[in-house]
Structure 1
Amino acid sequence: MSAKKEQATLGGGCFWCLEAVYSQLKGILKCESGYSGGHDPSPNYDKVCSGRSGHAEVVRLEYDPEVITYRKILAVFFAIHDPTTLNRQGNDVGPQYRSVIYYHNADQHDTAQAFIEDLERRKIYANKVVTEVAPLSNYFPAEAYHQEYFENNPMQPYCAYVVAPKVEKAEDLFGDLFRRA
């Protein structure tokens, strides 16, 4: 395995869903639930859920680009959430659930913009993609009990009825990327 590590930060609704998928992919070295993009200097779950902190629920990935590319990370991202709904994923409603890609460098910005433009050109979705592409700002790790939430709470109702189907969908679409594949 290479010694090279890069980071990606994505928001696509509840961070439990994203973390549950990405934590199982080959090349993902670390997957952390957190908050990003807001103005509050000390966000926590309650503040973020109020929608007033400005933060989105996100996952920050540390990955090996020789095992999984940034484009492949984006392909998974756009397959496991609805990038056409503003500030909403299913029953999760509010700006904290917005679809957003926080880029860490110019290459990520350009790749994300080109990826979205390609989705739009090919009319992959019936509605316009509203995913925000913004520089990473004000990132904070979520509280410890949010980390590995699905793994630690698979029978919790939200996990069983919302998270598990997203993991299954990702596994159906990207099974070769999963560690257990």
Structure 2
Amino acid sequence: MIKKDYAEEYVLEAVLSHINTLNLSPLLQQITISNINSNLVSLEDEAKILKKALEKVEKKLIDLYKLFNAEDEDERISTETFTLLVKEAEKEKKRDQQRVNELNERISLQKDLNLSQDINFVVDDFKSFYQLISDKDKKLLFHNLIKEIHITMGSTTKERKIKEIIYQFEPENMNTLLSG
């Protein structure tokens, strides 16, 4: 074991230095935009399905109105049945319309995101970003960035120092990720 305060500060500074050599902004933007575009496609598909469902409900309401006003008494539905079915269809229509509106709002928000600014903040001012996130997220972040930490030998925690940090990825790997 080594001193916790020393280890945290040393690792943070080393990670900051490592991140600065990686030129992460383009990669993070590429990955994030790809994920958002994928999410947008599924949101748009869901919105299309709901719009078709709304069209079916509209047709159902028209058909109910025709049945209620049918010339032939054998085809005509009662006022009670008509009222019950219309209420049910209106409830379905309202629910689907609310969901379509929610989806359209989410789609609009995702299309209007200023990712470059947010990603550049995280990469360029990583230390401030680091201070904003929870301890749990800090731990998760380091677990995803750091593969191993090697410590020097010493008889006390004060004597032990960090000798080397091995990261999950190195600068030369980033060029491969960006081009591939």
**Which category of TM-score, normalised to the shorter sequence, fits these structures?**
under 0.3
Larger Rg: 2
Q: TM (normalized to structure 1)? A: 0.22
Specify which structure has the higher proportion of strand: 1
Specify which structure has the higher proportion of helix: 2
Q: TM (normalized to structure 2)? A: 0.22
